[in-house]
């Protein structure tokens, strides 16, 4: 099939939920075109995956407390995976947990062709306890950059995560001498199960605010600030060098602002694994799901002698929450031939003053390194407004345009349901357009191939007790990047925003912030907005969601007709259609796996 074969055909979107947590709407997509000829192969003892991840539950030290946590290869974060573009990588994920299901999502990478490998409970049956699943990953050249992987079941991702780096095909467009990964995560002093039960209970029980922000799994939890045995994160550098810092927002809740003492000149070179024009900033701001790559030039030996110091603070603080967590890491210089400096205790007085306002950072500023085919306003065929609302019915829920969905309504993963029931699982496009863009029967949202959608996400004041409370929301798109066209206070004004876009080319992103401009608004009224543009050119099922894990149990999906989704012969994927099917391996069974790709390149 060619793309032309699908012109004029509809694709659809559905609200989804993982029943273990409160959910925000998310968009998921699965392409049904340009798939390589598939091969069903038994992954027996002769098959060697490129990477193996073993997921277990164990007590680990976090924030200087002991917490029962889901870990990857025994640690949190798990190992960094470095994969090459235009080459298939097989990642075997073992669920060694005795009583929990699992999926693994490759955040920032499009899985629109390896349709069962995106790693969410709407595209595949979860990996049952004591089973494993082989994920097939094929990044393109344009995917070079910083991503990460994480579980997509329950609250597991608060600890079950790790960095995922797609290497450049050629030399990177920016020169640097070395790399450092700073992966930010949250520490909560409750277990995953306690948090999940509270968020879904009646009455509702909030998880509580973060008890600490960690860098690469190291940090100081609240209550341990004066504990001399509690270690701070340390980042070692050499003098006179340029480092690429890969900053990963793997937090569950926290929106983090960060700066480097006496190193005010930071240069952003990439956002969400897409290279940008160099943009200088004095501090970094990262929400859950976001990634920023920066260049930091270290001081020369002479400069360090003049300052009489080889240690500087990295200061980071949470924003847009009821309370502020402040943490520190050490930027420590290693001088050849000199004795390594012992990291001092965290300062009692903050050495840096970080901005309190978050909503203006980088807006209408960051531009792509190379032109990216940004669709103009004249190309937009339809504007879809998605209104985010919080309401209470015993527990607390979120809806979009009045649509609330939980996976207790349908236990079968969306993709599996289409394979099993065909057109009976598909929505009616006309009916969707007559009902605020979503089909009330199937709960799909709808778009047609070749449309250019302007998607406006509107924040509203909470309906809970009509209090009008406002949250921020980092919205993330699975399967592909979008053009971010900005944000603002109140209701979206297309004329005013087009003025801001004149002479500016937005970057492609996969996670951007729906901000708040006040703590409280008017219940049910528009309070702020975030805008995207999307070219609908891949038939399939798409997902978008708020990446705050306490919110992430709702969603929505684009999908095409059953014949378009069913791009792999039914007999080939029969092992994927039932929970515990033979596409999943165990100690007693080798999996029978559909292999989608051959190595391609230089670009897919």
pLDDT at position 217, please? Answer: 98
Residue range 11-31+373-565 forms a domain whose CATH class is mainly beta
Please name the CATH architecture into which domain 179-333 falls.
Sandwich (2.60)
Task: Write b or e for each residue in 497-527: b if 16 or more Cβ atoms lie within 10 A of its Cβ, otherwise e.
Answer: beeebeeeebbbbbbbbbbbeeeebebbebb
SS3 88: coil
Structure tokens at 107: 């955040």
- pLDDT tens across 343-398, in order? 899 999 999 999 999 999 999 999 999 999 999 999 999 999 998 888 777 777 66
- pLDDT tens across 200-249, in order? 888 888 999 999 999 999 999 999 988 888 999 999 999 999 999 999 99
The torsion angles phi and psi of 89, rounded to 5 degrees, stand at -120, 130
| C-alpha count within 13 angstroms, C-beta hemisphere, residue 563 | 5
C-alpha of 183 from chain center = 13
pLDDT at position 38, please? Answer: 67
3-state secondary structure 322-379: CCCCEEEEEEEECCCCCCCCCCCCCCCCCCCCCCCCCCCCCCCCCCECCCCCCCCHHH
- pLDDT tens across 76-129, in order? 999 999 999 999 999 999 999 999 999 999 999 976 667 789 898 778 899 999
Q: Is the pLDDT of residue 561 over 70?
A: no
> How far apart (Å, rounded) are the C-alpha atoms in residues 255 and 277?
24
- pLDDT tens across 398-443, in order? 666 666 655 444 478 878 888 888 888 877 788 888 988 888 877 7
Structure tokens at 341: 């400096």
> Residue 421 belongs to what H/E stretch?
helix 414-421
Q: Where in the chain is the domain with CATH 2.60.40.420?
A: 11-31+373-565, 39-173+568-595, 179-333
Please name the CATH architecture into which domain 39-173+568-595 falls.
Sandwich (2.60)
pLDDT at position 410, please? Answer: 47
């Amino acid at each position: 099939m060619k793309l032309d074969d699908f012109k004029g055909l509809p694709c659809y979107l559905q609200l989804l939920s993982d029943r273990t947590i409160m959910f925000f709407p998310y968009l998921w997509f699965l392409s049904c075109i340009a798939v390589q000829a598939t091969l069903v192969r038994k992954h027996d003892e002769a098959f060697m995956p490129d990477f193996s991840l073993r997921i277990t539950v164990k007590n680990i030290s976090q924030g200087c407390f002991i917490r029962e946590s889901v870990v990857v290869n025994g640690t949190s974060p798990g190992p960094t995976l470095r994969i090459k573009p235009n080459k298939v990588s097989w990642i075997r994920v073992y669920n060694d947990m005795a009583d929990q299901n699992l999926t693994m999502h490759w955040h920032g990478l499009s899985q629109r062709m390896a349709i069962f490998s995106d790693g969410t409970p709407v595209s595949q049956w979860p990996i049952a306890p004591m089973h494993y699943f082989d994920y097939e990953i094929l990044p393109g050249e344009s995917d070079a950059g910083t991503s990460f992987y994480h579980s997509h079941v329950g609250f597991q991702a608060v600890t079950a995560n790790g960095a995922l780096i797609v290497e450049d095909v050629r030399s990177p467009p920016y020169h640097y001498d070395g790399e450092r990964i700073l992966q930010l995560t949250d520490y909560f002093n409750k277990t995953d199960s306690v948090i999940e039960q509270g968020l879904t209970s009646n009455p509702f029980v909030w998880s509580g605010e973060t008890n600490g922000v960690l860098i690469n799994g190291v940090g100081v939890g609240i209550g341990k600030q004066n504990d001399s045995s509690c270690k701070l994160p340390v980042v070692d550098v050499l003098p006179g060098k340029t480092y690429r810092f890969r900053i990963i927002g793997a937090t569950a809740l926290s929106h983090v602002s960060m700066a480097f003492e006496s190193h005010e000149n930071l240069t952003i070179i990439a956002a969400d694994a897409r290279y940008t024009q160099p943009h200088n900033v004095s501090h970094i701001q990262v929400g859950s799901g976001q990634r920023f790559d920066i260049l930091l030039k270290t001081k020369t030996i002479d400069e360090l002698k003049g300052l009489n110091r080889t240690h500087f603070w990295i200061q980071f603080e949470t924003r847009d929450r009821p309370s502020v967590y402040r943490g520190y890491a050490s930027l420590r210089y290693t001088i050849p031939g000199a004795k390594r400096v012992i990291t001092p205790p965290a300062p009692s007085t903050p050495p840096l003053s970080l901005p309190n306002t978050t909503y203006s950072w980088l807006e209408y500023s960051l531009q792509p390194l190379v032109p990216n085919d940004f669709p103009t306003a004249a190309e937009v065929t339809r504007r879809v407004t998605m209104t985010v609302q919080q309401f209470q019915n015993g527990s607390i829920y979120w809806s979009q345009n009045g649509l609330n969905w939980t996976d207790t309504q349908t236990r079968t993963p969306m993709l599996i349901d289409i394979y099993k029931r065909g057109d009976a699982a598909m929505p009616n496009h006309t009916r969707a357009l007559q009902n605020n863009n979503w089909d009330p029967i199937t709960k799909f949202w709808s778009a047609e191939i070749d449309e250019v959608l302007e998607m406006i996400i509107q924040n509203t004041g909470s309906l809970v007790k009509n209090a009008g409370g406002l949250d921020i929301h980092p919205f993330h798109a699975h399967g592909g990047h979008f053009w971010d066209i900005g944000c603002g206070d109140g209701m979206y004004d297309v004329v005013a925003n087009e003025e801001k876009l004149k002479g500016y080319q937005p970057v492609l992103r996969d996670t951007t912030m729906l901000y708040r401009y006040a703590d409280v608004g008017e219940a049910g009224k528009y309070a702020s907005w975030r805008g995207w543009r999307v070219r609908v050119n891949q038939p399939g099922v798409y997902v978008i969601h708020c990446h705050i894990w306490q919110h992430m149990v709702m969603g929505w999906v684009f999908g095409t007709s059953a014949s378009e989704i069913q791009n792999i012969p039914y007999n080939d994927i029969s092992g994927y259609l039932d929970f515990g099917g033979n596409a999943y391996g165990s100690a007693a069974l080798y999996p029978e796996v559909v292999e989608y790709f051959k190595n391609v390149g230089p670009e897919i």
